[in-house]
Amino acid sequence: MYQLKRTQLLKSDLKTCWEFFSSPQNLKEITPPYMGFDIKVSLPKEMYEGLMIAYTVKPLFSIPMTWITEIKTVKENQFFVDEQRKGPYTIWHHEHHFKETPEGVEMTDIVTYVLPLGFLGRLTHPFIVKPKLEEIFEYRFKRVEEIFNQK
């Protein structure tokens, strides 16, 4: 099992941050364009526990794949958790935490994941999967900086 953790300070208020990040429509805004992120279902205005979101992405070698995410837990203005139901990982558990601070909002992403294919999955992790995830989250960090911190 692997874990990726990223924390970022947003110069905004909690309500604005929550509204942006809890809206699945905004995922495309913070996903690298080369991934071809495309939501395949209509989405409600507000996220709720049990919401299933189907989309296609091209995470590796421009090969499109269907990914289905379920919103497992929502605690408004504090955190939400999404888990992969169908996709490239054996386990994908993504926590999104929001904490108000005197400087703004501290947002923390914690992704816990397990790769398929046993030994082969573990073998590819340091050379393919980990660098790709770090690249995706670095892009996300930069986009979020542009959206929230360069006003």
**Structure confidence by residue, pLDDT tens digits, 29-60:** 999 999 999 999 998 888 999 999 999 998 77
Mean pLDDT over the full length of the chain? 94
| Nearest CA among 89, 83, 79, 94 for reference residue 6 | 94
Count of CB atoms within 10 A of residue 36's CB?
15
Encoding tokens for residue 51?
A: 């919401």
> Which pLDDT score, from 0 to 100, does residue 44 have?
87
Encoding tokens for residue 88?
A: 């490239």
> Which pLDDT score, from 0 to 100, does residue 16 have?
95
Q: Give the C-alpha separation, 102 to 5, whole Å.
A: 22
Q: Give the C-alpha separation, 35 to 52, whole Å.
A: 20
Q: Which of 22-26, 62-66, 68-72 has maximum average pLDDT? A: 68-72
> Which pLDDT score, from 0 to 100, does residue 76 have?
95
CATH for 2-149 (3.40.50.1110, 3.40.1280.10, 3.40.50.720, 3.30.530.20):
3.30.530.20
- The number of helix segments (H) and strand segments (E) in the chain equals 3, 7
**Parallel/antiparallel/unpaired status of strands 65-75 and 104-114:** unpaired
> Which pLDDT score, from 0 to 100, does residue 151 have?
63
| Nearest CA among 43, 40, 51, 61 for reference residue 85 | 51
Q: Give the C-alpha separation, 43 to 41, whole Å.
A: 6
- Asked whether the beta carbons of 106 and 18 are under 8 A apart, the reply is no
Count of CB atoms within 10 A of residue 151's CB?
7
| Nearest CA among 25, 30, 32 for reference residue 47 | 25
Cα–Cα distances in Å, from 98 out to 15, 17, 74? 10, 8, 12
Task: Give the pLDDT band (50/70/90) at residue 25.
Answer: confident
61 has a pLDDT exceeding 80: no
